[in-house]
Structure 1
Amino acid sequence: QNYQALLESCLKNKCLFIDDNFPAHISSIGTGPLLKKLPRNLQWKRPHALHKSPVFYAANRKQLDLCQGLVENCWFLAALEALTFHQDILAAVVPQNQSFERKYAGIFHFRFWHFGEWVDVVVDDLLPVNEAGELVFVSSVYKNVFWGALLEKAYAKLYGSYEDLQIGQVSEALVDFTGGVNTRIKLAEAPPDLWGILTRATYSRSLMGCQTHLGVYFPSVSLPFIQTTKVLKNGLVAGHAYTVTGIRKVTCQYGPENLVRLRNPWGKIEWKGDWSDSSYKWELLSPKEKILLRKKKEDGEFWMSLRDFRIHFVDLMICKLTPDLMSQEDGKKWMYSLKSGRWVKGSTAGGSLGFCNGNFWMNPQYWLNVLPVEDSKKNLNSCNVVISLMQKHSSKHRNRAPHLFIGFLLYKNTRLLSFFPEQYQESNRKLPPAFFTRHQPVNKHQVFLDEREVTHDFHLEPGVYVIVPSTLEPQQESEFILRVFSRKHVLRTLKKNKKQELKFSSISQNPEINAVQLQKILNNISWRNFQSFRLNFSLDSCQGILALLDLNATGTLSIQEFRVLWKRLLFYLEVFQKGDTSRSGKLDLVELHAAVQETGISLSNEVCNLMAIRYGDPDLQISFESFVCFMLRVEIMGEAFRNLTQDGKGIYLRESEWMMMTLYS
C-alpha cells in the first residue's frame, strides 16, 4: 500500500481512509484467548469521535506515557520505551509529519525493519473501544494523544493480528524498530566486564531491555491459556519485561556503587529494595547527587544496584546499532552485509552435524574473507566479527507456528585454501562432505536456540571462513537472513551483497576532566556545520558547565559525565543551527524564543528575556557557547524541581541542600 498515493486519493475525494487489508473487524483482533477478554459491545471509532482535539504525537513529552491494554505485550512497550532515548530513530519509525488537522484523511503510516528491509505499514485510524469510548489496547496517559494506539495497530497488522502480539520478546521488537543486531546476556553467567558493557551500550547507539524470573504463576480459571501476572513482595513483576533507561556510578560514604535505572512499561509498580525511591541508601550520597538522581514518584521508573540487577533479572537484551559494543573499538567504520536464504526439504535442509546424517554439507554455505584493518588499535591478527542468523516464518501470523531451533557453524583452517581449488573459489559450488568430516568448527559449542535470531560475536584471525546456517533437525523448512558485521570483509559467494558503512564518533578517554581540560577539548574539537566560526568556550563557561554536571562534587567530570555533556552539546548544536535563521552565528531574542521551544522546554517570555540579558552581549545576542550554558542550567534546574516536587507547585529543601544547588551550579 502506497501511503502518499492513498492519502492524496482520500483528500481529492474528500473521504476518510478505510483499510480493507486490516479491517475494523474482529478478524483483525484474532481468533484465540484474547477474544474472551474483550468488552461486550466492542466498537471501532476514530480519534475525532473520542476526543474534541486529538493529537498524533506530543513531542514535548519526555516520558513515553503509554499504558498497556488487554494485549499482554509488555515486551513491545518496553522496546518502545527504549526507542524514546533516540529521537532520530523514533522519528524514522513514527513519521512526525502526521496530524489530525493538516491533510487529515484518517490514514497513518509507520516504518518497521522486517527481515532485512524497511517496510512502510499503512493503517486507518479506526481503533477498538469499549462502550465508554475507552481504548481497549494501548492508550496514552494523555487521553488526546493517539500515536501509541496507531503504532500498535500497525505492528499488529505487520504480524497478522493483535492476538499475535500476545507473546514476544523485547529483543525482537528492538530489532524491528531499528534494524540493529541483538546480544543476549544471561545475567547468572554475565561476563566480569558487565558494567563496562552497560557503559558502552548506554553511551553508544544501543537500546536495552531485560526480563525478570518467571516466578510462580497462577493460571486463570476462565482463561486457561492466559497466565495471570504476579507482583512479588520486592515490587518486581514476575516474568515481565523492563526497559534499561540509564546507569550511574555514585559515590557513597563507603565507596563507589554501580546503579542501573529501569522502567516498568506499565508506568507504575516499582522495585522496593535498595536504591528504590524510599530507600535509606540515598542518604549516603551528596545532597546534589541525591536530588538529581532520586525521584519520589510512582511512575514505574526506579534505580537498583548492579548486584541486585544480576540477582533479580534473567536476561539483558542489548540491541546494538554499533556492532563494536563488545570490542571497545569505537570511532571506526564498519561494514554490514546481508544475505537471504532458505532451507528446502530434500535440497538445502541438511540439519545439524549432531544428527550424523551425512547431509550437513547440503545446508547453504557462505564464504567469508575477513581482512585485516591497518588503523586498528588492536592486534592486526584479531578482527571483531558479529554474525547474526534470523529465521522467517512462512505464516502471516507470527505466533501460529513455533520457532525452529536454529544455529550456525563457522569453519576456518590454515589449510582451508587447499579445499578451495580454482573451480570452488570462482563458482557457487559448495564444499564437499569430506571437508566437514576433517575439520572442526571455530564455535565448537554452538547452541541451537528456538528463537527468531541467533547472534554471536567472534574475534577472528584474518583469513577465509565458511558459515553454515542450519536447523537443528534435518528436513525442516524456513526462510532466513544472514547478517555479517566487521571492519572489513568480503562475502565471495553473495551475488547481491548489500553493504552499508556505519560510522561512529570517538570521545576523549581521559578518566577525569577538569575545567581547563574541558576548555581545551571543546575549543579544539571539529564541530560539524561550525567550520566558519571559531568557537571560544571561556574558562568561566567551562567551570559553570562542570559545576552543573559534577554531581558527586569532585571538581571534575568523569568520562560518563562527559558523555552526557557530549550528547547534549550535539543536540544543542542542531537546535542552534535551526534557530539561527540569519546565519550570523548568534541568536537574537526572537530566535532564542524559537530555539527554546524547539528543545521542548516551556519558559515564559519574561524568563527568556532575562536570560538574554544574563547570557547575551550588549545587543542581547546569544552565542552558541552562551546558549549551551543557558540550556544546561534550564535542564538541570528543571530536573531538580521535578524530582523534588510532590504537588507540581513547590519544593522543600534544607538550607545546606539549597546552598549546594544554587551556589555550585
Structure 2
Amino acid sequence: MPLQSTLSGRRSVQAENTQYDGRSFEELRHECLQKGVLFEDPDFPATDSSLYYSQSVPVNIEWKRPKELCDNPRFIVGKADRTDICQGQLGDCWLLAAIASLTLKKDAMARVIPHDQEFDHRYAGIFHFQFWQHNKWLDVVVDDRLPSVRNNLIMLHSASNNEFWSALLEKAYAKVHGSYEALKGGTTMEAMEDFTGGVGEMYETKKAPSNLFSIMKKALDRGAMMGCSIDITSSAESEAKTSSGLVKGHAYSITGLEEVHFRGQKVQLIRVRNPWGQVEWNGPWSDKSREWNYVDSAEKNRILQNSTEDGEFCSSPLCLQDKAISVRELQQMLNGVLSRRREIKFDGLSLSTCHSIINLMDADCTGKLEFQEFKVFWEKMKKWIMLFLSFDTDRSGKMSSYELRSALKAAGMHLNNKLLQLVALRFADDRYDIDFDDYLTCIVRLENMFRVFQSMDKFKRGRVNMNMLQFLMLSMNV
C-alpha cells in the first residue's frame, strides 16, 4: 500500500493569470457585472470537447449553472469539509482524495479556494481557483456551467444539492489538464503538490521503516497532506472491490492517526476516507467491529465521531486483505451504494439479480467476480445509471414503460413491440412504473440473453439450434 505525503509551502507568492487574453478574475467579473451578463469561458467552453478527448459523450449531457439546478445555490454551505466530496461518473478518485485532505488544512485551502466569490449580488457566473504548477501559482478562472443529466450533476458534487465549491474546483482542475477525461489518470500526491506547492514523499508499506507511524504522525502535525492506495498488478484490477470493503487501485485520503488502549496494549490506527462517500473497510477496527467493545467508551466516541456509512473508517495497517467478490458481497455492496442515490427509487437488489450479474461477467466461471471482471462490470454499471437518469424524463426516480423502451434502445437492445410489452408486464408495478432495481434486473438479464445467443449464433444468421440441455442451461443462467 503506497503512502503519499506532501508538505506544504510557497503560499505567499502572487498567482499568475492564466486566461488566454491575460485578464484577471477581478477584471473579467467586473466587466460581466457592468454589462449585466454571465461569464462564458472561451478557454474552456461548455462543449463535448471539454468533457472527452478520446470518445463521444455517451448520453445527452446538458451544461447548467447552479441557479438552474436549485433554488438557493451556495458556494460553501457552513464550512467546507471532507464530507462535501462525492465522486461522480469520472474515475478521478485520486483527485478527490487530495481534495478531502485539503479540507483539513485551512491555510492551504484558503489559497486554493479564494473566499471572494459567492452567488450573491456580485455573482457573474465566474469563479477562480489557484494551483501550483511549473514552479509557480496559477489563477484559473471558470464559468459555472456544469455537466448534468436530468438536472443532476454527473461529476464531483457535494452531498448538499445546493453547494457547488467542489464541483467548480474539479472543473478548474479539468481546465488545467485540458478536459474532464484527462483527470481519469493521476496520483493523489500529484494533486497534493498542486494544492500546496510542497514536495511529496512515498512509502511502500511492505518495505516501510519500523517508525512509519511516528513519521506519519509528525507529518500530519506539521500540516502535511497524506493519502494511500492498494497496489495493482495491471490496470484491469483498478477499482475492484475486495471482500474486506477496500478497493484496489483506488485512492484514499488519510484523515487522522490514533493510538488506542486495547486489552492492555497500545494499537496504532489510521483513519482513512473513501472519496466515494461509502464502501468502507469492514474488517478489524471498522466502525462496528467487536474490537471497539474493549476500548473505553469516551475514547471510542472521540475516535469514531459517531461514524456512519460515510466512507471513513479506522484500520490497523496490518489488517489490509484482497479477494474476489462473491454474490452476497456483491449484493451488499451494490445495495449500500445505490440506496444512497437520491435521484433514483431503489428497494434493493435481489440475490437472483446479483447471480445474473455474476453470470454475465464471470468469464472464468469461478462463481465470483475477479478484479478484471469487476472493473468491466463497474464501467457497465456507470453507463446503465447514466441511461436511467437520462431517460427518467420526469425526474420521478422511476421509469415509465415508454422511458424503459427508449433506454433499452439507447443501450443497443432492439426489441419488437411484443417483447417490449412482455418486459413491461414482467418488471413494471401496478402503475406501469419501473424503479431502479427492476430496471437493472431487466437490463442485466437482457444483456445475458443477447450474450448467450450471440455466442451460439456462430454464423450470425439470427437463429440457433439447441437441445434440451442447452435450453435448460440458458434458462438457468439468465
Give me the TM-score of the superposition, normalised by structure 1. Answer: 0.44
Q: Which residue of 2 aligns with 1:83?
A: 102
Distance 1:7 1:285 in 2: 54
Match of 1:251 in 2: 261
Contact 1:217 1:230 in 2 (8 A): no
Question: Aligned ranges for residues 58-457 of structure 1 at < 5 Å?
Answer: 58-130=77-149, 132-214=150-232, 229-294=239-304, 295-308=306-319
Q: Secondary structure at the match of 1:67?
A: coil
What whole-Å deviation, never above 9, does each CA across 1:314-344 have from its counterpart, x for those lacking one?
xxxxxxxxxxxxxxxxxxxxxxxxxxxxxxx
Question: Residue 60 of structure 1: CA displacement?
Answer: 3.0
- The answer for the alignment partner of 2:33 in structure 1 is 11
Q: Which amino acid aligns with 1:210?
A: C
Q: Is the 8 A contact 2:229 2:252 kept in 1?
A: yes
User: In 2, distance between residues paired with 1:268 and 1:182?
Assistant: 27
Tell me, in whole angstroms, the C-alpha distance in 2 between the residues paired with 1:76 and 1:102: 32
Distance 1:83 1:296, change over 3 A: closer
Look up the match of 1:567. none
Q: 1:244 to 1:298 in 2, by over 3 A?
A: same
Q: State the shift of 1:61 in Å.
A: 5.0
Deviations 1:106-139 (A, max 9, x none): 1110000011000000111111111x11112111
Counterpart residue identity of residue 157, structure 1: K
Cα gap change, 1:284 to 1:188, in 2 (>3 Å): same
User: What displacement does 1:32 show?
Assistant: 1.6
Give the SS at the match of 1:212.
Answer: coil
| Distance in 1 (alpha carbons) for counterparts of 2:78 and 2:197 | 23
CA contact (8 A) 2:87 2:277 kept: no
Cα distance, 1:283 vs structure 2 = 1.3
TM-superposition CA deviations, 1:552-598 (whole Å, max 9, x none)? xxxxxxxxxxxxxxxxxxxxxxxxxxxxxxxxxxxxxxxxxxxxxxx
User: Could you list the per-position Cα deviations for residues 25-84 of structure 1 after superposition, in whole angstroms to 9, with x for gaps in the alignment?
Assistant: 111112224x45x42x21111111111110011243543322111210000000000011
Shift in Å, 1:284: 1.5
Could you say what secondary structure the match of 1:105 adopts?
A: coil
Amino acid at match of 1:170: T
Counting strand residues as a fraction of each chain, which structure ranks higher? 1
Match of 2:347 in 1: none
**In 2, Cα distance between the equivalents of 1:228 and 1:171?**
18
Structure 2 vs 1, CA of residues 91 and 59 (structure 1 numbering), >3 Å: closer, same or farther?
farther
> What do the CA deviations read for 1:336-377 (whole angstroms, capped 9, x no partner)?
xxxxxxxxxxxxxxxxxxxxxxxxxxxxxxxxxxxxxxxxxx
Runs of 4 or more above 6 Å deviation: none
Q: Quick one: distance in 1 between partners of 2:258 and 2:146? A: 40
Aligned partner letter, 1:83: L
Counterpart residue identity of residue 204, structure 1: R
Q: Secondary structure at the match of 1:80?
A: helix
For 2:167 and 2:266, how far apart are their aligned partners in 1? 42
Residues 107 and 62 (structure 1 numbering): CA distance in 2 closer, same or farther, change over 3 Å?
closer
Aligned ranges for residues 499-518 of structure 1 at < 5 Å? none
**Equivalent residues in 2 for 1:483-522, closer than 5 Å:** none
Counterpart of 1:298, as a letter, is: E
Q: Is the 8 A contact 2:82 2:99 kept in 1?
A: no
Partner SS state of residue 315, structure 2: strand
Q: Go from structure 1 to structure 2 and tell me whether the alpha carbon gap of 1:104 and 1:296 turns closer, same or farther (over 3 Å shift).
A: closer
Output the CA distance in 1 between the equivalents of 2:157 and 2:296. 39
CA deviation string 1:597-627 (max 9, x = no partner): xxxxxxxxxxxxxxxxxxxxxxxxxxxxxxx
Displacement after TM superposition at 1:214 (Å)? 2.2
- RMSD of aligned alpha carbons: 1.7
Task: Give, in angstroms, the shift of residue 215 of structure 1.
Answer: 6.8
Identity %: 41
Q: Which amino acid aligns with 2:154?
A: V
Q: Which runs of 5+ in 1 are unaligned?
A: 219-226, 313-665
Larger radius of gyration: 1
User: 1:260 and 1:267 mapped to 2: Cα distance?
Assistant: 17
| Residue-pair matches, total | 299
Report SS of the residue matched to 2:116: coil
AA of the residue aligned to 1:126: R
**Aligned-partner residue type, residue 301 of structure 1:** E
Shift of 1:192: 1.3
Shift of 1:306: 2.9
1:639 aligns with: none
* 2: CA distance, partners of 1:25 / 1:87: 34
Q: Identify which of structures 1 and 2 has the higher relative contact order when contacts are C-alpha pairs closer than 8 Å and 6+ apart.
A: 2
Q: Which amino acid aligns with 2:34?
A: K
What is the rounded CA distance, in whole Å, between the counterparts of 2:286 and 2:26 in structure 1? 48
